[in-house]
Structure 1
């Protein structure tokens, strides 16, 4: 029986992909695994209901054996795992039906991996509201109050600077692409210059003054490095 793992379980987050189209399931599995998620894929509703514990279920509605909405209802009765419907059905009635049947979110195909990962993080935050802050070395970031401190001293950040920093510290060590940061902090349809991100990261480095905290991953993006120290 599928059930949500205890919040005491360490990372990685376990994702169950319920998708009968291998051309969709395989890229999802590969992309999420590269981002550090533990991924299992199944191709039918019955397999989904018999799968092991998961934190998040990505559920296609067009399954070969059971109606996707029925699977959603059964999953909700069996488990408190987050359910994100991923489907080609984009009508308002389909969205309403899925949400009424217990889905936590609804994503219409085609979609980008960055948006999907943002939806996963969002549903997990809603299901784990007790997480009040992130700490990396001398740095503490509190999303609830939007305060940032370095060794207890508050650092004033602009809203965009804070949002970038929160994205990075929420998953220390993971290289986050420039496109993902632009999508999450600005807008998924951002068409402005990408240099705006470099300007904000440079300001963050200057204000935080933690040598080596935000590392550039050339050709990809940025990551927060655990264990960085305060500069002189």
Structure 2
């Protein structure tokens, strides 16, 4: 059971989402505008925020940007927009997953379960070189200094740190992060990698930890020159 906030201004959509979430024994709060949703989420963070992009008041994208600067709260975005650029923009702002309208309630619930499972604490710390990933405290440190990551970024590091030096294709990483989604492309992994390099690398344009294997994908290594 989880606490879930639904920021959705369409009464029929929000009621349907609430009913399906409550069937799975989650505690649900529905908020119909962006300004109140942002204030409520900041005051009492839920386990998951389901966030519509087009909200009156503060938009979903602005809410995502603000919350991601402050916390690693899992965010599942809902949008009628289905272009690749819109999806990547949301991921770049820190959203962990996207569902495009129209969607089936069963699909949405499957994505909720997957996201809650992926962001739940698992095992203890894993260290790769100067990088440590702690799945219990959900913390990442570089040289002992904590850095802030989104849940999606954390999951990517967690997956790769479990098998250091193994090359992962973008498709493999996408499956770990988002499962199958026809709308989320492998470019989403590049967005996560780019953002992570800004946080964990001394020189993001010359990475020594999260390295590119050209024509294949990415691998996480000790700080090799």
Normalised by the length of structure 1, the TM-score is 0.50
* Structure 1 residues 170-200: Cα deviation after superposition (integer angstroms, max 9, x where no partner): xxxxxxxxxxxxxxxxx99xxxxxxxxxxxx
Residues 75 and 95, structure 2, Cα contact 8 Å, conserved in 1: yes
Output the CA distance in 2 between the equivalents of 1:67 and 1:81. Answer: 17
What is the count of residue pairs matched by the alignment? Answer: 123
Residue from 12, 15, 26 that aligns with 1:23: 12
Output the CA distance in 1 between the equivalents of 2:47 and 2:108. Answer: 15
Task: Find the residue that maps to 2:122 and give its secondary structure.
Answer: coil
Output the CA distance in 1 between the equivalents of 2:98 and 2:30. Answer: 19
Larger radius of gyration: 1
Residues 20 and 109, structure 2, Cα contact 8 Å, conserved in 1: no
Counterpart in the other structure of 2:3: 14
Output the CA distance in 2 between the equivalents of 1:79 and 1:57. Answer: 12
Output the CA distance in 1 between the equivalents of 2:52 and 2:60. Answer: 6
Task: Find the residue that maps to 1:23 and give its secondary structure.
Answer: helix
Counterpart in the other structure of 1:41: 30
Distance 1:71 1:34, change over 3 A: same
Counterpart in the other structure of 1:120: 112
Distance 1:109 1:131, change over 3 A: farther
Output the CA distance in 2 between the equivalents of 1:21 and 1:124. Answer: 24
What runs of 5+ residues in structure 1 fail to find an aligned partner?
1-11, 133-186, 189-232
Task: Find the residue that maps to 1:99 and give its secondary structure.
Answer: helix
Output the CA distance in 2 between the equivalents of 1:118 and 1:38. Answer: 17
Q: Does 1:62 align with 2:54?
A: yes
**1:70, distance to aligned residue in structure 2 (A):** 0.8
What runs of 5+ residues in structure 2 fail to find an aligned partner?
125-179, 182-225
Output the CA distance in 2 between the equivalents of 1:117 and 1:81. Answer: 18
Output the CA distance in 1 between the equivalents of 2:60 and 2:45. Answer: 19
**1:124, distance to aligned residue in structure 2 (A):** 2.0
Output the CA distance in 1 between the equivalents of 2:13 and 2:123. Answer: 32
Normalised by the length of structure 2, the TM-score is 0.51
* Structure 1 residues 113-147: Cα deviation after superposition (integer angstroms, max 9, x where no partner): 22112211222222225169xxxxxxxxxxxxxxx
Distance 1:89 1:123, change over 3 A: same
CA RMSD of aligned residues (A): 2.0
Residues 48 and 75, structure 2, Cα contact 8 Å, conserved in 1: yes
Moved over 6 A (4+): none
